[in-house]
Structure 1
Amino acid sequence: MALESLYKGQQLPLQRSVEAVAIPSGQPVTLEEDTVVQVTQALGTAVTVVLEYSMYLIEGHDLDALGLEPAPRPTLHENATDEELEAFVWEQLKTCYDPEIPVNIVELGLVYGCRIDTLISGEKMVNVRMTLTAPGCGMGDVIAQDAKRKIESAPQVQKVHIEIVFSPPWSRDMMSDEAKLELNMF
């Protein structure tokens, strides 16, 4: 079964125990084998599920727990340039979703910038400036941690700093036309 074949409301038994991320706390939890979960969103490389009124994010590399083909962990070749690394970071950010909105954070206009720094030690540090759709959004930490985990998969990256800012404040005007179309906001 492919990720695209999942639909909202579908109930699936877990085929093995799996590590998941509780939403909105961001805490890691183990969901036990044979537990039936309900799909709420299947976008990017992860699936959001509900179990007993609680929401969880299951990472793409663990999708076999849902009977799906696991998504390969993203990689980048060892000798990548800073430009290739930045392109990789942007591609990873495009796989991050607010569990409640079916548009990635880049298309939503939540990512204000990405910078690759080489530290004195020679290590690469990725700095991402992003915002949330509202200052009180409970998903901020979950989204930031999801982005951080995905960016850290590049072997060249030793440090990732995700800065959540509220200036300038987010507005619908920051969304791509594709995002506005997806959300019927034209």
Structure 2
Amino acid sequence: MQTDMTPAGATGPIAHPGLPDEDAVVAAIATVFDPEIPVNIYELGLIYAIDLHDDGRVEIEMTLTAPNCPSAQELPEQVRDAVAKVDGVTNAAVQIVWDPPWDMSRMSDDARLALNMF
């Protein structure tokens, strides 16, 4: 977020009314769970990139745990639908990518703990 002088002379963040809040987008993504794994897809490390645009567009690059994942059709749609509900989002697009391939090292510590994978 950009910082500038306010009219009173103090510095502070300048809100971009068209820019969706990244924390809110991440929180929305975290509501989506892989049906075979009891951890949300953000903590699993399936989200590779989140691009926020000034016009409210959000572009997400994600992967799946395996190319033959049975949820390959529904997970990207669930992510798109969840992000589209975030205030300030005008359009949400999700692209599946395979490079780099997902592996367990991308999982958060919380996900490892939940799955007892330490």
What is the TM-score with the length of structure 2 in the denominator?
Answer: 0.79
**Match for 1:150 among 82, 89, 96?**
82
Q: For residues 116 and 61 of structure 2, what CA distance do their matches in structure 1 show? A: 27
* Larger RCO (CA under 8 A, 6+ residues apart): 2
Q: Which amino acid aligns with 1:100?
A: E
Shift of 1:157: 1.6
1:111 to 28, 47, 65: 47
Q: Distance in 1 between matches of 2:76 and 2:85?
A: 15
Aligned residue type for 1:178: D
Q: Percent identity between the aligned chains?
A: 38
Q: Kindly indicate whether residue 27 of structure 2 is the aligned counterpart of residue 91 of structure 1.
A: yes
How many matched pairs? 103
Secondary structure, aligned partner of 2:37: coil
> SS of 2:21's equivalent?
helix
After superposition, what is the alpha-carbon deviation per residue over 1:74-117, rounded to whole angstroms, capped at 9, x for unaligned? xxxxx7563x5221111101111011110011110100110112
Question: What residue number does 1:180 align with?
Answer: 112
Which runs of structure 2 are paired with 1:2-151 in the superposition (5 Å)? 80=17, 82=19, 85-118=21-54, 123-151=55-83
TM-score (norm 1): 0.52
Q: Which runs of 4+ in 1 moved over 4 A?
A: none
Q: Once the two structures are superposed, what CA deviation does each residue of 1:44-73 show, in whole Å capped at 9, x if it has no partner?
A: xxxxxxxxxxxxxxxxxxxxxxxxxxxxxx
Unaligned 5+ segments in structure 1 are 1-78
- State the alpha-carbon separation in 1 of the partners of residues 46 and 17 from structure 2: 26
* Residues in 1 aligned to 2:17 and 2:53: alpha-carbon distance in whole angstroms: 14
Distance 1:155 1:141 in 2: 25
Q: CA deviation at 1:154?
A: 2.5
TM-aligned CA deviation for residue 155 of structure 1: 4.2
CA distance in 2 between counterparts of 1:181 and 1:154 reads: 29
Per the TM alignment, residue 135 of structure 1 is displaced from its structure 2 partner at its CA by: 0.9
| C-alpha RMSD of matched pairs (Å) | 1.7
